[in-house]
Amino acid sequence: MNTGGRVGIAPKIPLKSYGILVTLFFISSVANNYVYALHVPSTLHMIIRSASSPASLLVYCLIKKQKPKLNKTVGSILISFGVALAMYGGAPPTEQKGKFIYWCIGVTILLSTLITGAFTGLQQEILYTKYGKHPDEMMFYTHAIPLPLFIGIYPQLKNISKNISLDVWVLIILSIISQYYCTHSVHKLGTTETTVTVTFILTLRKFASLLLSSVVFTNNLTVFHCIGTVFVALGTYVYFDYFISNKQVSVSLKDR
């Protein structure tokens, strides 16, 4: 089996090495979806999850014992703030408030998943470094190995499936197909970029999805969307160090 090809009989990464990664992936996925069962406002859910970029940077620097670069820290904070503003501005008024007890439970769970999600990306990077870059294999096993764990929540899944209409099933199937290509691209990206940069790009994707949904579903664009767009653009510019890069190019051209 080559690096990016099909999954063979003998995995390049030992199955036992997937233990930590699969556990983190399962906890993050289930916890993020369980929050909805607690009737936590979806706006609160999305706003907290938009902080995944600085959370990933924090975990990465702590584990790697590295000092975070100023441009990446500022860029991550700016883009997260911009996405949070846009999400808040696009939510219906009834979703901008929630019961205090739900707020407390939701914040606790979601903040925890920020950390587990950051560790998930870092664990992927560690496995790539140790065993080589095999994105297709990793994508397969991280989704196949956790399947038996869902037996514990099978009764809830069964009850939910009974109330799903045919139209919704069609949407679910389409979502699965799109998620496959999305997840595949993310795993490919993880072979060329650090987990911090991957998380940053995923936050950008989330923002683009938010703006696209506003246009497709004809939701009103508010001043929060406009301000959020400015912060996202500025955060992207700062994160990828364009200010310093352009300055260095100008100086080098001047010296010639």
d(CA 187, CA 181) in angstroms, rounded, equals: 10
Q: What pTM was computed for the model?
A: 0.72
Query: Which of 20-29, 83-92, 189-198, 205-214 bottoms out in mean pLDDT, i.e. has the lowest?
Result: 83-92
pLDDT at 43: 67
196, part of any domain: yes
pLDDT at 130: 92
8, part of any domain: no
Structural tokens at position 248: 């260095």
pLDDT band at 3 (very low <50, low <70, confident <90, very high): very low
Structural tokens at position 201: 């790009």
Number of domains in the chain: 1
| Domain extent at residue 242 | 15-255
pLDDT band at 185 (very low <50, low <70, confident <90, very high): very high
130, part of any domain: yes
Asked if 90 and 160 touch (Cβ cutoff 8 Å), the reply is no
Query: Which of 17-31, 51-65, 116-130, 203-217 bottoms out in mean pLDDT, i.e. has the lowest?
Result: 203-217
9, part of any domain: no
First to last CA, the chain: 49
154, part of any domain: yes
52, part of any domain: yes
List Cβ neighbours of 110 (8 Å cut-off, separation of 6 or more): 32, 35, 40, 44, 45, 48, 49
pLDDT winner (highest mean) among 25-29, 44-48, 99-103: 25-29
192, part of any domain: yes
d(CA 241, CA 238) in angstroms, rounded, equals: 5
Asked if 85 and 224 touch (Cβ cutoff 8 Å), the reply is yes
Q: Which whole number is the average pLDDT over 136-165?
A: 87
